[in-house]
Amino acid sequence: MTFDTLCVHGQDHKYPEASRSITVPIYQTAAFSHLELGHNEHGFDYTRISNPTRQRLEETVTALEGAAQTLAVSSGMAAISAAFELFAPGDQVICSADLYGGTTLLFRQVEEKNGIHLRFVDTTDLEAVRQAVEPNTKAIYVESPSNPMMNVTDIRGCAAIAKAAGALLIVDNTFLSPYLQNPIALGADLVIHSGTKFLAGHNDTISGFVCCKDDEVAERLRVIVKCTGAALSPFDCFLTLRGIKTLPVRMERQQQTAMAIAKWLTQQPKVKKVYYTGLPEHPGYALNASQARGAGAMLSFDMGSQEQAIHVLKHLKIATFAESLGGPETLVTHPVMQTHRDVDPKELASLGITGAMLRMSVGLEGAEDLIEDLRQAMEDA
Ligand SMILES: Cc1ncc(COP(=O)(O)O)c(C=O)c1O
């Protein structure tokens, strides 16, 4: 079955409801009745543990990522936290130095407190990853492309290093979505999604996923999600399922517009640098093309100074100054003051993330309107 059909119908799920409802109903219930003791044919007890709307969503995302099983949880952060519950005090996790700021905060404030040793390395350099491996290394954690620098990590290369070390490779695939990249096919063991972003795709819900390559890890994660109460609510499952139906068409159009904007930005004298993996001059261009089916709809650019960047933010009329990504509305973020505000400024500087930088999630508005909006916002900057 094609990816597009899976997005619309899920795997083998054409109208399984008794009512033949076209859409998956929202099973807004806390509990399910039992016929008699020991007989629970439908397999549902209590919504924190499992729910038919959630099950349908999990099966759909499993099919899209080519996973064995998927867990749908309350946010992308809940997904990362659940995955880290697989580790014990004293374990080491090697991770990309350049990650979503919330992930870095979780690692520094929670996981390190829990006794997990985080080793931040430049994962675009496979030799640096190899050198960081220790006998207690239990996982390698990467984002590709990364947030907000759009650095591309060799997922196959990291998978080989993880395998040799007996460790898991965990890939946050939020920026490209399963439409453009399938890390499990490249050797990853776990795939993380902030479902809030391209999967749900409408800037109207928060959700997260952990997709697992094998059933054994998935079953351990089911116990963790059940015990910590992190599962996604039926209504948010419904919204995410609804969003997924249009994932391919949204991604195609958003990516096309992102390319047009990236090219236009490279021609603007006030723009010092453009970070978009679809541009041949991007250092990760060839690698991204070898492991993904496109460059996606996320880009960053450098306005030369923080003042210029703030000027642009202030004068945008269509693109909105806001923090999320992946929806129909184009959003522009100032990483230093928003997504990465909790990261040590010295660390940010060492990664090249400066106050002059803006990150753009390209939405579904007309490309000409967005370019005209940027042009007028850059006037007098
Ligand atoms: C790459 C990436 N991973 C994870 C997250 C966290 O997702 P959520 O906000 O759904 O918890 C984000 C949020 O922006 C993100 O950009």
User: Residue 224 above 90 pLDDT?
Assistant: yes
Q: Domain boundaries in the chain?
A: 3-244, 247-378
Domain 247-378: give its CATH code: 3.90.1150.10
| Any atom of ligand 1 within 6 Å of the Cβ of 298 | no
Write down the architecture of domain 3-244 according to CATH: 3-Layer(aba) Sandwich (3.40)
Nearest Cα neighbor of 232 from 264, 278, 174, 193 is 193
Three-state DSSP state, 337: coil
> Which residue's CA lies nearest to atom 7 of ligand 1?
76
Residues 57-101: tens digit of each pLDDT: 999 999 999 999 999 999 999 999 999 999 999 999 999 999 999
| Any atom of ligand 1 within 6 Å of the Cβ of 146 | no
Confidence of residue 338 (pLDDT cuts 50, 70, 90): confident
* Domain pair 3-244 / 247-378, same fold: no
Confidence of residue 11 (pLDDT cuts 50, 70, 90): confident
- If you measure from the C-alpha of residue 339 to the centroid of ligand 1, how many angstroms do you get, rounded to a whole number? 9
Nearest Cα neighbor of 169 from 186, 193, 151, 152 is 186
pLDDT score at 151: 97
| Any atom of ligand 1 within 6 Å of the Cβ of 234 | no
Average pLDDT, stretch 207-219?
A: 98
Give the lowest-confidence range in 103-112, 147-156, 317-326, 342-351: 342-351
CA distance 309 to 255: 23
User: Residue 6 above 90 pLDDT?
Assistant: yes
- Phi, psi for residue 26 in degrees, rounded to 5: -90, 110
Residues 180-189: tens digit of each pLDDT: 999 999 999 9
